[in-house]
A and B are shown apart, each in its own frame.
Chain A
Amino acid sequence: MASGGKTTVAFFDNDAELSLTAEEAAAFDGLKAKLAGWGRERGRLIPMLQLVQDRLAYLHPVAIRLVSEHLEISASEVYGVATFYNQFRFNPPGRHPIKVCLGTACHVKGGEIILENFERKLQIKDGQTTADREFSIDRVACVGCCALAPVAIVGESLYGKMQPSKVEGIVLRVKIEKEQQERTARRHEPDPPAQLPPASG
């Protein structure tokens, strides 16, 4: 984890490797408190992992440890289950996750070409996140709007009847929107707060 030059604390007494910033530690404390209210039956495992992913957007190693300790099963057992299911991810997604549908209808209509265009444009492969954490690309199996094939989802917006030439425009639009937001934010706050500056896109 990038600590951003801040002091880090070991979250578990016996494990110095999983060290976190104070902020992150607070987030995990919150998670721990939330989990404490849950039963310890094995059947709770998947809903718990879903809760973690809901709050953190991915399964952080510390969260896996928390779940395993709560359910009194080994962390490897938790990993075993989590990696079996497609829903769970182990690296943080980008701020604008891109999901390219590769269901049957989208495949027949060239979904793969759309995926390639995103990969080429952003210089990452599917399953990866760009270095500035702006974008991540994932292939998904059917989002259930086959009549609009091929389909891509960028952030919250769904783009139906995609074409390779639309890819560049979509990526550009996200970047421009972000720049605009930053500009207005700067205008409203003459003194930027002392926090990590977002990497330029």
Chain B
Amino acid sequence: MSPTPPHSYRRLRDEADRRRREVAESALPKIHIGMATCGIAAGAQETRTAFEEALAEAGAQALIRAVGCCGHCYAEPVVVIDHPQSGFPPIFYPEVNAGKARMLAKLFIKEGDPRLEHILGATVANELIPSVMEFPRFSLEHRLIMQRCGRIDPEDIYDYIAEGGYAALADALARRPEDIIGAVTRSGLRGRGGAGFPTGRKWALAREAADPEKYVICNADEGDPGAYMDRTLLESNPHQVIEGMVIGAHAVGAGRGIIYVRAEYPLAVRILTRAVEHAREFGLLGRGILGSALDFDIEVFQGSGAFVCGEETALIRSIEGFRGMPVHRPPYPAVAGLGGRPTLINNVKTLASVPVILQDGVDAFRAVGTAQSPGTAVFSVVGSVVHPGLVEVPMGTSLRTLIFDICGGVPRKKKFKAVQIGGPSGGYLSEAHLDTPIDFDSLAQAGAMMGSGGMVVMDEDACLVDVSRFFLDFTQKESCGKCTFCRIGTRHLLEILERLTRGEGREGDLEMLQELSEDVRSGSLCGLGKTAPNPVLTSLRYFREDYEAHVREKRCPGKMCRPLIAYYIDLAKCARGCNACEGCCPVDAVFITHDRKRGIDQAKCVKCGECVVACPPEYDAVRRVSPPHLAPIVERPPAEEKDA
């Protein structure tokens, strides 16, 4: 008796459906709490405990389920309550802290009052409460990869199967590998790691390599500070990635898989490890997967924190137990990778796209996005926006739609200044580029790049010289040291930028930055060095006036570079009786004279900005100026008391 893959799958699916029905039919209220890393950071664990305690106190019963992250970071901790007996549809509650949780447990779960003032909306269309699906933050998104994130329990494999998970695999196992590669090629899927290499071509290369032993590696070494979609996906829906890997293994003929995930993501590591074990128990990994002839197993490898290991050849060196230094390509890993064997290496989102393509069909996938870049792109939009978080949009969506319509634009009536796309390897785009469609080619043309998908929005108070210095500081530290231009060039770039932010810029520095950037770009082997100067080059191109103000006037237009600013207290506005600024100052720089003039001791001030926050808004007396000599001087009276 050897069951075929569709049969084995049917059995799993029936069981999953039965469990799903059981939950759906139960009259118990269901409380879904988003408990990925970001939710826990925002206090989801306390929320959960509060629900449990309050339910026990009130003598009410409910089913509490930990789900993944839905990407709405601004609303964390997110709770969705489905209380069928109350007559209300499932409701999405934002920012549920412990207190709110206790209140909801008592008033909604027990007494049936949903406390409408605390809701964001219903999760499905209905006649009582507006559905969140009509809000731009939801309706303008198009979720293919993150469809199930925040809806299923990542630690329950049945939950994924009930949503149609692993159906694409069962289907694929019954098809010839060439057909699957053909479908992936026709879908036009491009590597979601940032470079946008056609996935189908990579798979075909690995398939053609004549070697009985091949590997599939999932690249989850998400090192860009500011991007966290891979982590979210692995924490919220690990099985979709595993399914993509098994399909890849069947297509190229691999027997071993490795998921290379950052050790800095302990929760992702834990959830993935469990998911792999579950998949093995269910015959979705191991020998004879779903009764087919495919033998394939996955191990989870923890990366140890080197940005350069996101580069595929460096990643392979790291798995082999060496320093993660990139090597020359060709030969590409698809021909000679791990241990010299053909290795298919894809990003998390690329692999997660594969089951979607096979299940919905190539045409459905191509219908989303642009002709050259079909499908969707996932961005983590952070910085000065009203609704930060993870956003999945069709390729080709304009930056304006993404930043202003979906994420709510810049808060506090500030002006938009720039958006930084792609982290340390990406670039800045200015207001003039807001109508640029987001896809691999348009972004590259404008000087930015898709990269990791990290997106930081900056308002008028941002200093691009300082942010460029920040990125260079990062890439300079992360340079593996193999190529001279990357190792020493980035160091010199950083030194010049540091000089500028200290107000010691010289004539000729900008030309030097430009020239050196181009040299680093052409003299480096891997993506890290080739793209490291991008932040400098694009900011020089689009925001040259920022640099010039630093060099010529020793002034920081964004008032960010601390050596170039000073704080002072506007005596015309200061209440003089209140002590807020003095009390909050960490270095005792704020003082008061005998005639009750308040001043800031510039020699002591560390320019942390605490006094600005502390000053009551009705006075709003603390001012920030650049260059520092604009601050009026108030003499500090000699210190009189000297107590310990």
Binding site for B on A (CB under 8 A): 41-47, 49-50, 80-81, 84-88, 102-105, 107-108, 110, 113, 116-117, 120-121, 140-149, 151, 158, 160, 163-165, 167-168
Find the B residue at minimum CB distance from A121.
B586
Interface centre among A103, A108, A113, A151 (most CB of B within 10 A): A108
Q: Are A43's CB and B321's CB within 8 A?
A: yes
In the complex, 12 of the A-B residue pairs with CB atoms within 8 angstroms, ordered by the A residue number, are A42-B320, A46-B302, A50-B304, A81-B323, A84-B323, A105-B226, A105-B382, A108-B384, A141-B307, A142-B225, A149-B382, A168-B586
Q: Which residues of B contact A44 (CB under 8 A)?
A: 321
Q: Are A104's CB and B454's CB within 8 A?
A: yes
Q: Are B73's CB and A146's CB within 8 A?
A: yes
- Shortest CB-to-CB span from A140 to chain B, Å, is 7
Closest 9 CB pairs of A and B: A103-B225, A147-B73, A86-B305, A104-B226, A85-B304, A142-B225, A45-B321, A87-B304, A144-B228
Q: Total A-B residue pairs with C-beta atoms closer than 8 Å? A: 143
Contact digits for B277-320, partner A, Cβ 8 Å, 1 yes 0 no = 00000000000000000000000011011110000000000111
- Shortest CB-to-CB span from B165 to chain A, Å, is 25
Interface centre among B456, B462, B584 (most CB of A within 10 A): B456
Q: Are B388's CB and A146's CB within 8 A?
A: yes
B478-499 residues at the A interface, CB under 8 angstroms: 480
Known: A141-B225, A147-B76. A104 touches B609 (CB 8 A): no
Q: Are A108's CB and B458's CB within 8 A?
A: yes
Which of B21-29, B36-44, B364-372 faces chain A? B36-44
- Shortest CB-to-CB span from B303 to chain A, Å, is 8
Q: Which residues of B contact A47 (CB under 8 A)?
A: 301-302
B571 at the interface (CB under 8 A from A): no
B389 at the interface (CB under 8 A from A): yes
From B73, B319, B383, B454, A108 is in contact (CB under 8 Å) with B383
Q: Are A120's CB and B480's CB within 8 A?
A: no
B263 at the interface (CB under 8 A from A): yes
- Shortest CB-to-CB span from A166 to chain B, Å, is 10
CA gap between A29 and B383 in the complex, in Å: 49
CA gap between A50 and B382 in the complex, in Å: 32
B404 at the interface (CB under 8 A from A): no
Q: Which residues of A contact B389 (CB under 8 A)?
A: 147
Q: Are A107's CB and B470's CB within 8 A?
A: yes
Q: Are B306's CB and A86's CB within 8 A?
A: yes
B608 at the interface (CB under 8 A from A): yes
B574 at the interface (CB under 8 A from A): no
CA gap between A146 and B222 in the complex, in Å: 14
CA gap between A163 and B228 in the complex, in Å: 23
Known: A81-B321, A146-B73. A86 touches B304 (CB 8 A): yes
Q: Which residues of B contact A146 (CB under 8 A)?
A: 73, 226, 228, 380, 382, 388
Contact digits for B200-223, partner A, Cβ 8 Å, 1 yes 0 no = 000000000000000000000001
B131 at the interface (CB under 8 A from A): no
Q: Which residues of B contact A81 (CB under 8 A)?
A: 321-323
CA gap between A168 and B585 in the complex, in Å: 11
- Shortest CB-to-CB span from A182 to chain B, Å, is 24
CA gap between A85 and B480 in the complex, in Å: 10
Q: Which residues of B contact A87 (CB under 8 A)?
A: 263-264, 304-305
B610 at the interface (CB under 8 A from A): yes
Find the A residue at minimum CB distance from B307.
A141
Q: Which residues of A contact B467 (CB under 8 A)?
A: 104, 107-108
Find the B residue at minimum CB distance from A149.
B382
Size range of the chain B interface in the assembly: 35 or more
CA gap between A120 and B264 in the complex, in Å: 27
CA gap between A201 and B606 in the complex, in Å: 26
B474 at the interface (CB under 8 A from A): yes
Contact digits for B166-195, partner A, Cβ 8 Å, 1 yes 0 no = 000000000000000000000000000000
- Shortest CB-to-CB span from A124 to chain B, Å, is 16
Q: Are B41's CB and A158's CB within 8 A?
A: yes
Q: Which residues of B contact A147 (CB under 8 A)?
A: 38, 73-74, 76, 382, 388-389
- Shortest CB-to-CB span from B579 to chain A, Å, is 14
Q: Are B318's CB and A46's CB within 8 A?
A: yes
Q: Are B304's CB and A117's CB within 8 A?
A: no
From B324, B388, B474, B586, A141 is in contact (CB under 8 Å) with B474
Q: Are A50's CB and B302's CB within 8 A?
A: yes
Q: Are A160's CB and B41's CB within 8 A?
A: yes
Q: Are A43's CB and B319's CB within 8 A?
A: yes
- Shortest CB-to-CB span from B593 to chain A, Å, is 24
Q: Which residues of A contact B388 (CB under 8 A)?
A: 146-147
CA gap between A182 and B383 in the complex, in Å: 42
From B76, B383, B456, B610, A163 is in contact (CB under 8 Å) with B610
Contact digits for B585-607, partner A, Cβ 8 Å, 1 yes 0 no = 01100000000000000000011
- Shortest CB-to-CB span from A175 to chain B, Å, is 17
Q: Which residues of B contact A121 (CB under 8 A)?
A: 586
CA gap between A43 and B382 in the complex, in Å: 37
B89 at the interface (CB under 8 A from A): no
Q: Are A50's CB and B263's CB within 8 A?
A: yes
Q: Which residues of A contact B302 (CB under 8 A)?
A: 46-47, 50
B613 at the interface (CB under 8 A from A): yes
- Other A-B contacts than A108-B456, A142-B226, 12 sampled, CB-CB below 8 A, are A43-B321, A85-B306, A85-B324, A87-B264, A104-B225, A104-B454, A108-B384, A108-B458, A108-B467, A141-B474, A145-B42, A165-B610
B138 at the interface (CB under 8 A from A): no
Find the B residue at minimum CB distance from A142.
B225
From A41, A102, A105, A140, B383 is in contact (CB under 8 Å) with A105
Q: Which residues of B contact A85 (CB under 8 A)?
A: 304-306, 324
Q: Which residues of B contact A49 (CB under 8 A)?
A: 304
- Shortest CB-to-CB span from B471 to chain A, Å, is 8
Q: Are A80's CB and B231's CB within 8 A?
A: no
CA gap between A140 and B477 in the complex, in Å: 12
- Shortest CB-to-CB span from B140 to chain A, Å, is 19
B423 at the interface (CB under 8 A from A): yes
Q: Are B306's CB and A144's CB within 8 A?
A: no
Q: Are A140's CB and B264's CB within 8 A?
A: yes
Q: Are A164's CB and B383's CB within 8 A?
A: no
CA gap between A117 and B40 in the complex, in Å: 25
Q: Are A113's CB and B609's CB within 8 A?
A: yes
Q: Which residues of A contact B41 (CB under 8 A)?
A: 143, 145, 148, 151, 158, 160
CA gap between A84 and B607 in the complex, in Å: 34
B614 at the interface (CB under 8 A from A): yes
Q: Are A143's CB and B304's CB within 8 A?
A: no
Q: Are B38's CB and A145's CB within 8 A?
A: yes
Find the A residue at minimum CB distance from B320.
A43
Known: A116-B608, A141-B474. A104 touches B586 (CB 8 A): no
CA gap between A55 and B73 in the complex, in Å: 34
Q: Are B608's CB and A113's CB within 8 A?
A: yes
Find the A residue at minimum CB distance from B380.
A146
Q: Which residues of B contact A168 (CB under 8 A)?
A: 586
Q: Which residues of A contact B324 (CB under 8 A)?
A: 84-85
B265 at the interface (CB under 8 A from A): yes
CA gap between A117 and B606 in the complex, in Å: 9
Q: Are B608's CB and A104's CB within 8 A?
A: no
Find the A residue at minimum CB distance from B232.
A144
Q: Are A164's CB and B610's CB within 8 A?
A: yes
B420 at the interface (CB under 8 A from A): yes
Q: Are A116's CB and B462's CB within 8 A?
A: no
Q: Which residues of B contact A80 (CB under 8 A)?
A: 323
Q: Are B73's CB and A104's CB within 8 A?
A: no
